[in-house]
Amino acid sequence: MDAGGLRARIRAAHEGRAPAALLDGALGTELEARGFATPLPLWSARALVERPALVAEIHADYARAGAELLTADTFRTQRRTLLRGGAGERAAELTRLAVSLCREAAAAAPQRAWALGSAAPLEDCYRPDRVPDDAALAREHAEHAELLAAAGADAILVETMNCVREAAAAARAAAATGLPLLVSFVCGADARLLSGEGLEAGLAAVAAAAPLAVAVNCLPPAEAEACLPILAASGLPFGVYPNLGAPDPERGFAPSADCSPAEFAARARAWLAAGAAFVGGCCGTRPAHVRALAAIAGR
């Protein structure tokens, strides 16, 4: 693991001593784009069971596109989801495999790269009304964070958090591992979490976990801009990685081709101008979008 190197990279970008770091793009929708179906509930985790080589190929393509922060396919390897999807007690095995595939791609990248373990909401990213009780949040996020750390992740990316309560629980669990922590929220056009709580409240709630960086993700590029002043006011390094498309009840997400890589990169200029320490893409983005970001991020 290279936690110290990651901390230094993000801080250098935040302080203007280095260009913004590049996060990768989507994995779930990229699997679908390459012909592998990702129905709910397992979504991208299904590929770990049936097509791990394809997951490795996608990581490698993002690394070749310039991504320094590669996200392991652990968005849906929590025990809760795997049990629901018929994968039984394979949380440790599949989390370990996902992080291993990501670490291999990071090691082979043409630039220095890190493997981030993704920690997602236990239920539906877009349904804050389905967030479990506090005891379940503490227990299950702790298990997932510990599995990510044991698997060798360089950091934990708590992402797509739709309410303050789960964000705080997931952040506490990740911080307890001693790994660097990044926390990202999904917001609406008004810079409020999908729960209706303000982004400011979310940032305040995770502050005690001392995140290395905060971010917003899985929202349309146009809606990300309203979040920029709030992220910048936090004083922490921050990132932006929007989606292209919309949630889908069967597939998890339906990507859109409405925003070309060049248009996506043009949108990102505002994020960089506001001081973003890292930029990337979420659902619907592809290696070409990361390559376009690399072209404008001083890389």
User: With bands split at pLDDT 50, 70 and 90, how would you rate the model's confidence at 231?
Assistant: very high
**pLDDT tens digit sequence for 182-230:** 999 999 989 999 999 999 999 999 999 999 999 999 999 999 999 999 9
Smallest Cα–Cα separation from 148: which of 97, 113, 106, 107?
Answer: 97
**Pairing outcome for strands 252-255 and 245-248:** antiparallel
Contacts 24+ apart (CB under 8 A), 265-269: 265/289, 265/292, 265/293, 265/295, 265/296, 267/221, 267/222, 267/224, 267/242, 268/221, 268/240, 268/293, 268/296, 268/297, 269/296
Query: Please, which residues have CB within 8 angstroms of residue 79's CB and are 6 or more apart in sequence?
Result: 89, 91, 140, 143, 144
**pLDDT tens digit sequence for 38-89:** 998 999 999 999 999 999 999 999 999 999 999 999 999 999 999 999 987 9
Q: Which CATH number belongs to the domain containing residue 244 in this structure? A: 3.20.20.330
Helix axes 164-175, 199-206, angle to 10 degrees: 30
**pLDDT tens digit sequence for 87-112:** 879 999 999 999 999 999 999 999 99
pLDDT of residue 93: 98
Q: Which domain holds residue 146?
A: 3-296
The pTM assigned to this predicted structure is 0.96
Give the tokens for residue 117: 């373990």
**pLDDT tens digit sequence for 144-192:** 999 999 999 999 999 999 999 999 999 999 999 999 999 999 999 899 9
Number of H helices, E strands in the chain: 13, 10
Say yes or no to pLDDT of 299 above 90.
no
pLDDT of residue 297: 86
Please state, rounded to an integer, the average pLDDT across all residues of the chain. Answer: 95
How many domains, the chain?
1
